[in-house]
């Protein structure tokens, strides 16, 4: 049972922790980059087309109905774009404004670059060359283009198809333009550039309607193949540019895989119930001027739709996609087998986006981990307990295929987080003899499988209780103070990140199998009271010891864990709803308890990391 809740929630935990890491000391919002410059198409357009004599605009209802003040800003969405969510994360305070123009039919990339050159001159005039150069070199540049070239040009243009009989030939021209654009940006000072890959074009509702030949229930594989091939060449072209242009950090942000997975593999798990149609109108062809307040059939809740109109994601999908951006890699996988299943094979996009100068910087000075098997990396190995994982097949996909004590085939979610934070090694288990004083300066892992908020849970299985884990942390604090002095140690403790994962074992491995506990607490809601009291005391104690950034994981959907379905389910292939209901009830109370602690403890940044939503449960056997 201790191992069942480990590998299923990696994506969710990482995403929530990425948001949490952005909490700065003393709650001061610090910009992670000095500026963001955005180029491209309607995926990132926030209103540049509004005053142009073109039909391709979105500055009228129902566009923007879920944006701030329900305003139609020109964004091709019901609410925020993915780039808006990224800017939120970067803490810029406001979104980059549209560089408005009243001339032309649409603004080409070449013209956008001219506008940027004009903008640079204005900035230099305001703050001087040296300060301006610092902004230009440290800013983040985002490019999104290519979709319109194919969907709105090549596929419907007999002239282009005659000029380029094979779409791969057309790609040569597109990539040459991309290469020149990057070279020009680089010559103008840009050093941190992210370029979005093509989406799965054949899965866009409008593309299915126009190119699906009457089969409106399935993606158009031909278009997806074209997008995949273009993305492969985009990636290789980007690698060449990185090798050739000095100090250029150029990332291909993979949109294809997460969006494809969202549409085809895991829509319901992520809260989406409509994948083939947009929310606006009938959702089959409506976009721009066709998506208007008179459009018949517009849905009432766009958050259930992946697409807002026939070509653009909804606010809810944009929110998710902004978190899933990772470096694209060439793939030979066909569209029908593509998967973005929550097991990240490379560090997250966070460090890549704003630590793109190549320096392995740590975002926090140390990481300290407490709790159960979700975080345990080997503390149980030498205990007299059956709850351990230091033998095969555990660890079969970990470095050197080594079973370290992690309750997983490879890395835990926390390992991916530590990768993201810029550490060159993982916090060692406190019980490990290699946890020397020097290693402990960067943090330590105290978690023990089958522990919980109730110390009796750990005692039942012979593992390390939360109370004992906190005592061990006190010992580590003394050792760190002895090494670096009180002042430096205090900086480490207050700037460090603390993560707690507990509760699953209390419920599944204690309460539900213990007649004694069930007699003491006639309902599980009554048992939650001492659990939450223990949580409160634990956070208060950590706070008194200097902790200011604490993340606590909520319970996962306990009834969907394979072991739970086997032990507590009447039907082994269905989730046990009673357990899920209990987990949801606990999580609500955990959240309210956390909010109360935040209000009461000055300077405390306490985040409840939700694992109920967007959980991918896989059964590979």
Q: Which residue has the higher pLDDT, 112 or 22?
A: 112
Spatial CB neighbours of 372, under 8 Å, sequence gap ≥ 6: 2, 447, 448, 449, 450, 451, 452, 501, 502, 503, 504, 505
In angstroms, rounded to a whole number, what is the distance separating the alpha carbons of residues 346 and 416?
8
Q: pLDDT tens for residues 13-23?
A: 444 444 444 34
Q: Give the Cα separation of 74 and 99 in Å (integer).
A: 12
Query: Do residues 301 and 62 make contact, with C-beta atoms less than 8 angstroms apart?
Result: no
Chain mean pLDDT for the chain: 81
Q: CB of 419 within 8 A of CB of 410? A: no
What's the average model confidence in pLDDT over 511-532?
Answer: 96
The answer to whether 148 and 204 have CB atoms below 8 angstroms apart is no
pLDDT at 280 over 90: yes
Q: Tens digits of per-residue pLDDT, 121-151?
A: 988 888 889 888 988 998 889 888 888 899 9
Q: Does the pLDDT of residue 210 top 50, yes or no? A: yes
* Cis check: omega of the bond before 270, within 30 degrees of 0: no
Residue % of the chain over a pLDDT of 90? 45
Is a pLDDT exceeding 90 seen at residue 304? Answer: yes
List, for residues 373-394, the tens digit of each pLDDT value. 999 999 999 999 999 999 999 9
Query: 22: how many CB neighbours lie within 10 A of its CB?
Result: 17
Question: Parallel, antiparallel, or unpaired for β 36-40 and 140-144?
Answer: parallel
Report the C-alpha gap between 562 and 22 in whole angstroms. Answer: 34
Please give the model's pTM, rounded to 2 decimal places. Answer: 0.52
SS3 543: helix
Count Cβ atoms within 10 A of the Cβ of residue 530 and give its class: 0-12 exposed, 13-18 middle, 19 or more buried. middle
Cis peptide preceding 428, ω within 30 of 0: no
Spatial distance between the Cα atoms of 287 and 54, rounded to a whole number of angstroms: 13
Q: Which of 349-358, 407-416, 505-514 has the highest mean pLDDT?
A: 505-514
**pLDDT for res 110:** 86
pLDDT at 31: 52
**pLDDT class of 474 with cuts at 50, 70, 90:** very high
Continuous segment of H or E residues that includes residue 549: strand 549-553
Strands 140-144 and 192-196, how do they pair? Answer: parallel
- Scanning 358-509, the segments in alpha helix (DSSP H) are 413-420, 437-440, 455-461, 466-484, 486-495, 504-508
Domains of the chain: 7-26+366-373+445-609 (no CATH), 31-350 (3.40.50)
Q: 50-67 pLDDT, tens per residue?
A: 777 888 877 888 988 988
Q: How confident is the model at residue 618 (pLDDT cuts 50, 70, 90)?
A: very low
Catalytic residues: 42, 309, 312
Question: Edge to edge, what strands does the sheet with 36-40 contain?
Answer: 36-40, 140-144, 192-196, 249-253
Contact call for residues 224 and 167 (beta carbons, < 8 A): no
Of the chain, the end-to-end C-alpha distance in Å amounts to 17
Q: Is the pLDDT at 337 greater than 90, yes or no?
A: no
Lowest mean pLDDT among 211-215, 342-346, 602-606: 342-346
pLDDT band at 362 (very low <50, low <70, confident <90, very high): low
pLDDT, position 214: 65
């Amino acid at each position: 049972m201790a191992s069942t809740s480990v590998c299923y929630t990696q994506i969710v935990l990482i995403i929530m922790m990425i948001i949490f890491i952005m909490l700065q000391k003393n709650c001061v919002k610090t910009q992670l980059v000095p500026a963001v410059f955005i180029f491209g198409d309607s995926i990132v357009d926030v209103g540049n087309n509004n005053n142009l004599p073109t039909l391709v605009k979105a500055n009228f209802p129902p566009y923007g109905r879920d944006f701030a003040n329900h305003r139609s800003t020109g964004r091709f969405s019901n609410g925020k774009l993915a780039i808006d969510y990224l800017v939120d994360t970067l803490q810029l305070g406001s979104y980059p404004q549209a560089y408005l123009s009243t001339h032309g039919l649409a603004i080409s990339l070449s013209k956008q670059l001219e506008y940027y050159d004009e903008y640079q001159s204005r900035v230099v005039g305001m703050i001087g060359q040296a300060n301006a150069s610092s902004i230009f070199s440290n800013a983040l540049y985002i490019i999104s283009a290519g979709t319109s070239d194919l969907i709105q040009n090549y596929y419907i243009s007999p002239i282009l198809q005659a000029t380029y009989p094979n779409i791969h030939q057309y790609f040569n021209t597109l990539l040459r333009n991309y290469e020149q654009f990057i070279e020009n940006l680089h010559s103008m000072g840009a050093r941190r550039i992210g370029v979005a890959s093509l989406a799965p074009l054949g899965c866009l509702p409008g593309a299915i309607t126009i190119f699906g030949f009457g089969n409106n229930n399935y993606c158009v594989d031909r278009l997806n193949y074209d997008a995949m091939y273009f993305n492969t060449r985009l990636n290789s072209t980007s690698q060449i540019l990185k090798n050739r242009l000095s100090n250029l950090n150029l990332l291909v942000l993979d949109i294809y895989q997460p969006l494809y997975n969202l549409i085809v593999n895991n829509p319901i798990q992520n809260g989406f119930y409509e994948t083939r149609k947009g929310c606006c109108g009938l959702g089959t062809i409506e976009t721009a001027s066709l998506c208007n307040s008179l459009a018949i059939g517009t849905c009432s809740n766009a958050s259930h739709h992946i697409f807002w109109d026939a070509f653009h994601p909804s606010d809810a999908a944009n929110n998710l996609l902004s978190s899933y951006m990772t470096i694209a890699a060439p793939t030979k996988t066909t569209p029908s087998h593509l998967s973005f299943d929550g097991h990240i094979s490379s560090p997250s996009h966070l460090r890549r986006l704003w630590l793109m100068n190549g320096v392995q910087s740590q975002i926090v000075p140390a990481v300290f981990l407490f709790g159960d098997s979700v975080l345990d990396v080997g503390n149980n190995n030498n205990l007299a307990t059956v709850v351990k994982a230091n033998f095969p097949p555990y660890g079969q996909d970990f470095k050197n295929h080594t079973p370290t004590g992690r309750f997983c085939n490879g890395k835990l979610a926390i390992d991916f987080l530590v990768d993201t934070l810029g550490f060159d090694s993982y916090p060692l288990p406190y019980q490990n003899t290699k946890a020397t004083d020097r290693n402990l300066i960067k943090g330590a892992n105290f978690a023990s499988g089958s522990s919980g908020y109730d110390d009796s849970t750990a005692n039942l299985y012979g593992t390390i209780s939360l109370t004992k884990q906190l005592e061990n942390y006190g010992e580590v604090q003394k050792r760190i103070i002895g090494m670096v002095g009180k002042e430096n140690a205090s900086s480490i403790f207050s700037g460090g990140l603390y993560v707690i994962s507990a509760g699953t074992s209390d419920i599944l491995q204690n309460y539900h199998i213990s007649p004694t506990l069930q007699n003491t607490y006639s309902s599980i809601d009554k048992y939650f009271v001492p659990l939450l009291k223990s949580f409160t005391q634990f956070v208060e104690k950590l706070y008194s010891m200097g902790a200011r950034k604490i993340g606590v994981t909520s319970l996962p959907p306990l009834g969907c864990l394979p072991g739970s379905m086997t032990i507590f389910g009447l039907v082994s292939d269905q989730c046990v709803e009673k357990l899920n209901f209990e987990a949801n009830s606990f999580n609500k109370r955990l959240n309210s308890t956390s909010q109360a602690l935040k209000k009461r403890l000055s300077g405390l940044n306490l985040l409840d990391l939700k694992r109920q939503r967007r959980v991918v449960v896989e059964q590979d056997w």
